[in-house]
Amino acid sequence: MNRTLSYQIPAEDNNKTVVTFLKEQGFSRHILIDLKKTKNSILRDGIWLYFQDILHTGDTIFVSLIENTGSDGILPVDLPLTILYEDEDILVVNKPSGMPTHPSMDNYDNTLANAVLMYYKKQGIPFTFRCLNRLDRDTTGLTVIAKNALSSALLSSAIRTRQIHRSYLAIVSGITPESGTIDAPIARKDSSVIEREVNFSSGERAVTHFRRLAERNGLSLVLLTLETGRTHQIRVHLSYSGHPIAGDFLYGSELESLPGRFALHASRIRFRHPLTGEMIELTSPLPAPLAALLNAPTS
């Protein structure tokens, strides 16, 4: 995936070196190394610039990010792929249940990465898979993928500084309070490489806000927003609160009507585009099999 960016140098950046200017635009050390090794990667008036060249007010420079190879070891596979948004820098898809994000042991050809690489292979484009918000295998919803190294670096920084706002919908056991905050540290469980737990002695701080939207059939539909992004945070916190996610047997659900999935959905994301600054807001409705839990007739 190749991308060419243009920058017009403003007065406040007059007399800065090329490398200083690019660092201030969010170019990481890794990207800068690649640019340094690539002929004609930075041009002004058709002339290849070096890192220590001086920029002047009104200059226009063109920076080419070139990737001629894709992700090693990820097999392109023709799998369903629901695209909600795409431009030169970002791809946002609606991940289904039962699809891991990345390949792993026993999951070599059934992942979101496999599907995305096939999507670009059909276009003749080598693609490096860079997923910004990895969802668990059975969690559905909005997943953001960076299409080049710069958008990946800038979006990763936005996540660290909490500038990407995400909301989730979950159906949980029991009737929750109308709203609240769960502030409880999370650590890896000693007996498992996968499972996490609330641990006040060794855990990292984790904060989840929730609001109940509906309740029926002994279940609650809750809207969740995160202040932190710990592994399995929502699942652990809801289980800790006494309201595990429906179908999440790892964390204590007893509901048996959701074979092979649990009721957690990444429903909304809002962030500024890393390169244009445009505000992007996308939503995804609760999948029908999950909504049916609340709509089913009571016995």
Q: Kindly write down the DSSP assignment for every residue of the chain, as one continuous string.
A: --EEEEEEPPGGGTT-BHHHHHHHTT--HHHHHHHHHSTTSEEETTEEPPTTPBP-TT-EEEEEE---S--TT---------EEEE-SSEEEEEEPTT--SS-BTTBSSSSHHHHHHHHHHTTT-----EESSPPPTT-EEEEEEESSHHHHHHHHHHHHTT-SEEEEEEEEES---SEEEEE--EEE-TT-SS-EEE-TTTPBP-EEEEEEEEEETTEEEEEEEESS--TTHHHHHHHHTT-PBTT-GGGT----SSTT--SEEEEEEEEE-TTT--EEEEE-PPPHHHHHHHHSPP-
Cβ count near 279 (within 10 Å): 9
pTM of the model: 0.91
Which residue in the list 34, 72, 89, 136 is annotated as catalytic?
136
The tens place of each residue's pLDDT in the chain, 299 residues long, gives 899 999 999 999 999 999 999 999 999 999 999 999 999 999 999 999 999 999 999 999 999 999 998 998 899 999 999 999 999 999 999 999 999 999 988 889 999 999 999 999 999 999 999 999 989 999 999 999 999 999 999 999 999 999 999 999 999 999 999 999 999 999 999 988 889 999 999 999 999 999 999 999 899 999 999 999 899 999 999 999 999 999 999 998 887 667 667 899 999 999 999 999 999 999 999 999 898 888 855 44
CA–CA distance, 142 with 125 (Å, rounded to integer): 23
Q: At what angle do helices 149-160 and 29-37 cross, to 10 degrees?
A: 170
Is the Cα torsion angle 160, 266, 244, 190 positive or negative in sign? negative
CA–CA distance, 242 with 61 (Å, rounded to integer): 57
CA–CA distance, 171 with 234 (Å, rounded to integer): 12
pLDDT, residue 299, reads 40
pLDDT digits (tens, 9 = 90+) for 141-177: 999 999 999 999 999 999 999 999 999 999 999 999 9
Which residue type sits at 155? L
pLDDT, residue 259, reads 62
* HSE toward the beta carbon, residue 56, CA cutoff 13 A: 2
Is the Cα torsion angle 112, 68, 120, 167 positive or negative in sign? positive
Is 109 among the catalytic positions? no
Is there a contact between 262 and 254 (Cβ–Cβ < 8 Å)?
no
| Beta pairing partners, 92 | 85, 144
